[in-house]
Amino acid sequence: MSIWDGVKGQSQVLGCLQTLVDSNRLSHAYMLLGPSGVGKRRVAKTVAAALACQNAGCGDCRECKEAVSGSHRNILTIEPSGRQIRIEQIRETQRWLSIDPGRNTWRVVIIDPAESMGSAAANALLKSLEEPPPNVVFFLLVEVDGALPATVRSRCQLLRMNLLPDKTIEEILESEGASPAEAKKWAPTAAGHADRALALFRDDEAKDWRETFFSQLASLGSSSAARDRLVELSTEYISDRASKAESEVLDQAAEAEEFLKGARGSGLKTQIKENSSRAKDRASSEAAVEICDLVGSWYRDMAVFAESADVSTLRNQDVAGLVKGAALNSADSAGALMAVAEASGILGYNVRETEIFESLFLRLSHLRR
């Protein structure tokens, strides 16, 4: 299977990039704009694989496999160190790029998420974008339009990637072994983010957590019990996701250390520590966003059900019974959705997630009397 067939649901962006690679007209910088979980990183790695492969992205050779797994020597992924991508990381990259790897060797730099560059880092990067080294492609992965300085943005070709339609997520689930019925059930819950649907399909604990969470939402009212439990469930979910992400990095690092035994690279320990705390931060902010989306989807279902009394249009069909039982009028659903939108807006600022969820669930409990 060609490497170009490996990403589902982004045929427009991929088709465009494939044509450019095949005709050797690739530009030096692309901004991939789209929400999380739509395959931005995968698209960037696909191009990187096609450039590294001797056979136009066969998907089978060592170059292709290393490009996709992220271990290829000519592909560099820059992620935030702490909350930000720092200027030192950009300078290090520029030093790496200044060493000529030999004729016709392509190198790819993936900056993910590019909006986490501070202004100093963005300015440093601008120099490379203005005077790009030969045979280098930058991919700036961005979730929010307008988050990058205009000077940086104007030096990149913009490619938009949309949320995936339910149908595509169904196909992805089926290709991972889900039955058509399962695929149909879980695809709409993911609201366009394939990664969420996959996590839910693969993990029974995640399904249980979800059911508990929704049943508490359904019983949210004047007593504080459900409210406290929701805050607890949310914070547990976030810290669980964060520690999973951290231990994944530590496991990889343990392998690397084993490999380097005897010839231990200096600074490896520091690097490992940085990488794992970065992965942890990123996973916890993604999990917090996911919880806001989940609560939003519940009240969206409430509003839809109040209008149509039709369960087939619900996003969360696995809990259709709960939605029916908790039925809320449209005005209250709208108020709830507003509260959720406001909470989402505060995420990412320097406020503890627990506090955000405490006040969100408090507001929501007032709506339901």
For binding to Zn ion (CB under 5 A), which residues are involved? 53, 58, 61, 64
CB of 2 to Zn ion, least distance (A): 9
CB of 80 to Zn ion, least distance (A): 30
Strands 29-33 and 107-111: unpaired
Q: Which of 21, 27, 9 is nearest to 49 (CA)?
A: 21
In the bound state with Zn ion, the residue whose beta carbon lies nearer, of 64 and 111, is 64
Helix (H) or strand (E) holding 311: none
- List all residues 6 or more positions away from 82 whose beta carbon is below 8 Å from its beta carbon: 277, 278, 281
In the bound state with Zn ion, the residue whose beta carbon lies nearer, of 61 and 272, is 61
Environment class of residue 150 by beta-carbon count within 10 Å: exposed (0-12), middle (13-18) or buried (19+)? exposed
In the bound state with Zn ion, the residue whose beta carbon lies nearer, of 58 and 87, is 58
CA atoms in the 13 A half-sphere facing the CB of 250? 9
In the bound state with Zn ion, the residue whose beta carbon lies nearer, of 75 and 337, is 75
In the bound state with Zn ion, the residue whose beta carbon lies nearer, of 48 and 173, is 48
Distance CA 50, CA 22 (A): 9
CB of 50 to Zn ion, least distance (A): 8
108 forms beta bridges with 75, 137
Q: How far is it between the farthest Cα atoms of the chain?
A: 71
Cα 366 to the chain's mean position, in Å?
32
Name the CA radius of gyration of the chain, rounded.
Answer: 22
CB of 51 to Zn ion, least distance (A): 10
In the bound state with Zn ion, the residue whose beta carbon lies nearer, of 64 and 148, is 64
CB of 136 to Zn ion, least distance (A): 20
CB of 72 to Zn ion, least distance (A): 11
Which residue in the shown chain puts its C-beta closest to Zn ion? Answer: 53
CB of 57 to Zn ion, least distance (A): 6
In the bound state with Zn ion, the residue whose beta carbon lies nearer, of 104 and 270, is 104
CA distance to 228, 232, 343, 353, per residue, from 358 (Å): 8, 9, 10, 9
CB of 14 to Zn ion, least distance (A): 16
In the bound state with Zn ion, the residue whose beta carbon lies nearer, of 67 and 295, is 67
Angle at 358 between CA 357 and CA 362, to 5 degrees: 110
In the bound state with Zn ion, the residue whose beta carbon lies nearer, of 50 and 152, is 50
CB of 234 to Zn ion, least distance (A): 43
Environment class of residue 125 by beta-carbon count within 10 Å: exposed (0-12), middle (13-18) or buried (19+)? buried
Angle at 42 between CA 124 and CA 28, to 5 degrees: 40
Contact of 241 with 284, CB cutoff 8 Å:
yes
Strands 157-160 and 107-111: unpaired
